[in-house]
Amino acid sequence: DAAGDTGTARRLVEHAVREARRERLRRPLLDTGPWIRPLLDPAPAPPPAPPVVPDLSLREREVLSGVARLMSYEEIGADLFISVNTVKTHLKNAYRKLSVNRRSDAVRRARELHLL
């Protein structure tokens, strides 16, 4: 199309094809030039949406980093100056955000998303 609005051109051609089919007209479409071919082909699929990266807090990432280093809850807590219960809370929140249930899955998923 001359104006560069392919979407509008495609919709207009689709409308013309529907009307021609309804009226049983074939010749007008057969007489068009090669310019119409790209407008008759299916539109390309939009690119896939980027994966949604969960928004982990700094503490959740720090706790996950400790888990990735195979540290115990006690070691992570001592390293970050927080209680074991706080470590567990941060890890539970990270599990929920990453949609996992195990330490190894959390580390794997965080690495896939480049959070670690």
- Per residue in 61-97, pLDDT (tens digit) is 999 999 999 999 999 999 999 999 999 999 999 999 9
Domain with 36 in it: 6-40
What CATH number is associated with residue 93?
A: 1.10.10.10
State the pLDDT confidence band at 3, using cuts at 50, 70 and 90. Answer: low
Residues 62 and 91 in one domain: yes
**Within a domain: residue 50?**
no
Element (H, E) at 22: helix 6-23
Amino acid identity for residue 43 in this structure: A
**Within a domain: residue 47?**
no
Residues 29 and 64 in one domain: no
- pTM reported for the whole predicted model: 0.56
Write the CA distances from 74 to 36, 45, 54, 96, integer angstroms. 69, 50, 26, 21
Over residues 17-37, mean pLDDT? 76
Given a contact cutoff of 8 angstroms between Cβ atoms, the answer to whether 61 and 93 are in contact is no
Residues 105 and 77 in one domain: yes
Given a contact cutoff of 8 angstroms between Cβ atoms, the answer to whether 79 and 71 are in contact is yes
Number of domains in the chain: 2
Residues 6 or more apart whose CB falls under 8 angstroms from that of 35 comprise none
**pLDDT for residue 33 is more than 80:** no
Residues 77 and 104 in one domain: yes
**Within a domain: residue 49?**
no
Higher pLDDT pick, 61 / 22:
61
